[in-house]
Amino acid sequence: MSIATATVPAQAGAVAPAPPGITKRRRRFQDNLTGHAFLIGAVLCFGLFMWFPMIRGIVMSFQRTRRGVTTWVGWDNYVRIIEDPSFWVAWKNTFYFTGLALVLGFVAPFFVAILLNEFRHAKGYLRILVYLPVMLPPASALYLFKYYAYDPGEAGLFNAILTFLHLPTSEWMQSPTMTMPAMVIASTWMNMGGAVLIYLAALQNIPGDLYEAAELDGAGLWKRIWHVTIPQTRLILALLAMMQIVATMQLFIEPLILANGAGTQDSATSVAYLIYQHGFFQNDLNGAAALGVIMLLVLAAFSAVYLRLSTKQD
């Protein structure tokens, strides 16, 4: 990631000035030991729960455990996973969700933040409001949507509002076309608070004279957003976009709770849900590991492209 590499200083060398000769070397050795002593806890955790599982995941994806005996099976798990009829549907759904969430969940908080940043009154109140849903346990928020908002009959909150406004009602989670938008709405409602606050912080750092200058140049409201606000918050926007995409690609709890898993006619099946199905319902942890590796490759390819694009702009 561009941000990361840009801020890691390239300099190396001992911290304290040390006398020359043998003492220096000994000193250096001791400093190294101290340094690694400070590192060891985190390194162990990374090793146990990140680096080792990565290798293990790849190994597992080429094995199969039956009757407590593990054997090498080559590409069998991959073949089984890719030929799983839900495989492509799950990817399609996941990308669709990610895209929709990007439009709604990424753009909306940015404009909400811009709006909130302009107000001189009720600032604290509005901020608390936006952040409030973040404090609900995710399952709580989703059951609220499932039982009350997305009721397919006219008793549901959303349908009641639509009826009141004389608009056509929807069956929400029971309609294959509305499943995804409905999940994105719920997900955005319960998650956007964090992004709004981060944008607000970024907006407050934009020097006021930039707007002043732009206005003197005759730039209207949109032009000012386009030429001042967005370039000034570009880094944060890029970072959050990345984080959001990685997060939404892991879509899981929304389909699990809102759609009871796969949703109507597989319209909610996500890749993460498929991993869960294979690993924990279908007695196929090896297949689930293979699917995890595939997901890793897709995300790696994606971040390579993303890095390429974002460094090009620099």
Partner 1 sequence: MSVPQYRKVAALALVAGLGFSLTACSTKGDDGGNDAAGKVTITVDCQPVAAQKELLDNWNADVKEFQNQNPDIVIKSISVGQQCNNPPDFTARLAGGTTTDVFYGYMTDLQQVLDSGQALDITPYVNKDTISTWDSVDPALKEVFTDGGKLYGVPVKNYSMGLVYNKTLFAKAGLDVDNPPKTWPEVREAAKKISAADKSVAGYAEYSAGNTGGWHFTSLLYSQGGRVLSEDGKKAAFNTAEGRQVLQNLKDMRYGDDSMGARQLLQWGDLLTNAAAGKVGMFIGAPDTTQAIVSQFKGKFEDWAVAPLPGQTDLAKGTLGGGEGYFFKKDLTKEQVEAGLKWIAYQKLTPGKGQFDYVRAKPQNYPVGLPQPLLFANGSEAQKQEFDLRKANANVPVENFALFETKQLPIVGEPRDAQAIYAILDSAMSGVLTDPNANVDTLLKTAEEKVNQLLAAGS
Partner 2 sequence: MSRTLISHAQLRRGRGRFLYWALLGIIVTAFTLIFIGPLYWMVTGALKSGQELAQTPPTLFPHDPEFTNYIDAWTNLNLPKLLFNTIYYAAGAVVFQLILDTAAAYALSKLRPVFGNVILGAMLATLMIPAMVLIVPQYQTVISLPVLDISLLDSPFAIWLPMVANAFNIFLLKRFFDSIPEEIMSAAFMDGASPLRTLWSILLPMSRPILGVVSIFAVTAVWKDFLWPLLVMPSQETRTVSVGIYAFAAGTPQNVVVAASVIAAVPTVIIFLIFQRNIMSGLTTGSLKG
Residues in 158-187 that interact with partner 2 by CB under 8 A: 160, 163-164
Should residue 134 be labelled a site residue for partner 2 when binding is judged by CB under 8 A?
A: yes
Q: Residue 137, interface with partner 1 (CB under 8 A)?
A: no
The answer to whether the CB of 257 falls within 8 A of the CB of 273 is no
Angle at 307 between CA 302 and CA 312, to 5 degrees: 130
The entry of partner 1, partner 2, none near residue 262 (CB within 5 to 8 angstroms by kind) is partner 1
Q: What are the residues whose beta carbons fall under 8 Å from the beta carbon of 229, sequence distance 6 or more?
A: 114, 203, 206
Q: How far apart are CA 261 and CA 238, in angstroms?
A: 32
Indicate whether 296 belongs to the interface with partner 2 (CB under 8 A). yes
Give me Rg for the CA atoms of the chain.
Answer: 25
- Nearest-approach distance from CB 40 to partner 1, in angstroms: 5
Opening angle at CA 94, ends 260 and 294, nearest 5:
110
Judged by CB under 8 A, the chain residues 24 through 63 that form the site for partner 1 are: 30, 33-34, 37-41, 43-45
Q: Which residue's structure tokens are 């069956």?
A: 171
| Residue choice 145, 171, 214, 245 for contact with partner 1 (CB under 8 A) | 171
Extract the tokens encoding 23.
């003492």
Given candidates 67, 121, 166, 312, which one binds partner 1 under the rule CB under 8 A?
67
Q: From the list 17, 21, 68, 124, which residue makes contact with partner 1 (rule: CB under 8 A)?
A: 68
60: partner contacted, choices partner 1, partner 2, none (Cβ within 5-8 A by kind): partner 2
Segment near partner 2 (CB under 8 A); pick from 77-85, 101-109, 194-202, 261-269:
194-202
Q: At what angle do helices 123-131 and 179-204 cross, to 10 degrees?
A: 140
